[in-house]
Amino acid sequence: MTQTSSAALPAASTERLPLSGLLALALTGFIAILSETLPAGLLDQIADGMHISQAMAGQWVTAYALGSLLTAIPLVTLTQGWYRRRALLLAIVGFVLFNGLTALSTSNTLTLLLRFFTGAAAGLAWGLIAGHARRMVPVAQQGKAMAVAMLGAPIALSLGLPIATWLGAWLGWRATFVVITLAALLLVIWVLLSVPDYPGHAAGKRPSAMQVLRTPGVGIVLLVILTWVLGHNILYTYIVPLLAAAGMAADIGPVLMVFGVAALAGIGLVGLLVDRHLRTLVLLSLAGFALATLALGQASSWLVYLSVALWGVTYGGAPTLLQTACADAAGEGGDVAQSMLVTVWNSAIALGGIIGGVLLTGAGVGSFGAVVLALIVVAWLLAWAGRRGGFVKGERQA
């Protein structure tokens, strides 16, 4: 990572953020998340329209996740030498093409293939967004820039998916995919107008995935991501049975809204503090998540809402914290490290569904708390151990 002198910091910190370009990156993330989760909100309509079971319709999400999981590292590695905006536009054009064809497809087999390729476009996009945001600002503003660029994900989950689900119920699932396609098409124009271009790595200076993985600090950040995101997804994927156990099955909508709003607050808080207190924020966020997990299992509605709010605040800033730590540790291999982050993150999501399902059918929902707490403790200890690499103490630019 390029360093700046202490004398340059005050001037750099007063510069205005390039909001238009950063918001274009945020919209890229918004479209990626909405493209992934939309079938979950339109399961009935897709199953009826394609004449398939709901279980098969659910595999549209699985195919997307596999696309991101299997292709993020190869695609980002292969495009290291490209100008960065060109690589980003390739990902966005992928959203336009594959979501558009999904809206027209009448074959479930073809659609599953299209969903895989849409996930591949998302894997490439997520591997580029963080690095691009960091290059658009001085080092002293990289945390804030990352926070803005990461806004798309929580907004897509808290507001975008409910709105898209309503739109699908009104106009049909195909029309909803058309809307996402048109949004991606407009985003191409926005990126061309507002997002600056940067050269890729010159030949001979393109680090391999193994070189990046061996960089001090990268491995420990990836392990923290795996354990933290895994714990989160065990709870988030099975939030309905968790609420049912607390007698709040009918409150799923308001509970998720509280989580989404709290997550946005967490992003804002992290954006303000990440450049000076990244390590402290990671440790406090994990401690807060542990406290929220303990309170979530209590049969008290106000306590459940309070714990979900705390959970949202502590998890909302996690992408910014973890992507910043990963990029800091990787230095010139930042884009490749981000592709690894995408792979680990999606693996944790998939494992969360599998492990949570096994726990639910075996020991029951009451076992979630102990398992998630154990994962949080491991993540906290790993973050604590990374004080010299990964989660370094002190100001990032020092």
Q: Can you give the pLDDT at residue 389? A: 82
Dmax (CA) of the chain: 65
Q: Can you give the pLDDT at residue 10? A: 35
Angle between helices 19-41 and 161-171 (to 10 degrees): 50
Spell out the domains of the chain, with CATH numbers in brackets. Answer: 16-194 (1.20.1250.20), 209-385 (1.20.1250.20)
CA distances from 180 to 65, 184, 288 (A): 18, 6, 35
Output DSSP code: residue 306: H
* Cα dihedral 156, 162, 165, 171 sign: negative
Angle between helices 218-237 and 368-385 (to 10 degrees): 160
Could you give the CA distance from residue 227 to residue 232 in angstroms, rounded to a whole number? 9
Could you give the CA distance from residue 34 to residue 292 in angstroms, rounded to a whole number? 27
Q: Quick one: 59 exposed, middle or buried, by C-beta within 10 A (0-12, 13-18, 19+)?
A: middle
**Residue segments in the chain with a per-residue pLDDT below the cut of 50:** 1-14, 398
Q: Can you give the pLDDT at residue 398? A: 41
Q: Can you give the pLDDT at residue 271? A: 82
pTM of the model: 0.77
DSSP state letters, 320-355: HHHHHHHHHHHGGGHHHHHHHHHHHHHHHHHHHHHH
Q: 120: Cβ–Cβ under 8 A, 6 or more apart, which residues?
A: 67, 68, 70, 71, 72, 75, 94
Q: Quick one: 185 exposed, middle or buried, by C-beta within 10 A (0-12, 13-18, 19+)?
A: middle
Could you give the CA distance from residue 289 to residue 262 in angstroms, rounded to a whole number? 13
CB atoms within 10 A of CB 6: 10
